[in-house]
Amino acid sequence: MGQPSALGEGIDSWNATIFLYNSALKEVKTKVEILNDEFQQIHQYNPIEYVKTRIKTAESIVKKLKRNGYESSIDNMVKHVNDIAGIRIVCSFTSDIYKLAEMIGKQNDLTVVSIKDYIRHPKDSGYMSYHMLVTVPIFMSDRVVKTKVEIQIRTMAMDFWASLEHKIYYKFEGYAPEYISRDLRECSGIVSMLDAKMLQLNNAILEAKEAQEEDRDVV
């Protein structure tokens, strides 16, 4: 996980801080699972394909702080690194993304700090995902600590593209050849068209099923 001392603090401070982020991840993941179960009960449909969680490593945190011009300390890490605790929610369709985002935003004990919609406004690289930065209260024995969690919501196709992009840029240390970047952007357009087509197909299936049920009721 890297060395906590690289952040200029002792191991106890590091462990206490990471405990908070792990606790926040558990809280948010449980909320997401409950929302998925509720959706299944009401609509007989699961909008979520799978959920992944992760805590950023000490090495990654230090690199991000340096890249943004901050000294490596736990105080700066908490203040300036928003994606230490991350949860990724992968859905079947783009419509599910916005439904889930709305449901998450209505949770009384979550505070939405910011939203970045990279689906309607993709990054220049072609990256698409819906990001929510939220805080969740962690109830300790002697205090309540609001802790940040970054939520990423995307389709399976978007997740596949993002995974490939990460592997490519990791191999090239962030500087991939232009022809590779160009092909990635082209694939992003294909992903967008695929998601739109699959959503259209799903809607057509639901309409056909509804029509069948209406015909059966008439008979």
The catalytic site residues sit at: 150
Helix residue ranges per DSSP H, the chain: 11-43, 58-67, 74-80, 94-105, 156-171, 178-218
Euclidean distance between CA atoms 48 and 12, whole angstroms: 37
How does DSSP classify residue 141?
S
Chain centroid, CA 104 distance in Å:
12
Bridge partners of 91? Answer: 48, 155
The β-bridge relationship of strands 130-139 and 144-155 is antiparallel
How does DSSP classify residue 93?
S
Token pair of 40, please? 């299944």
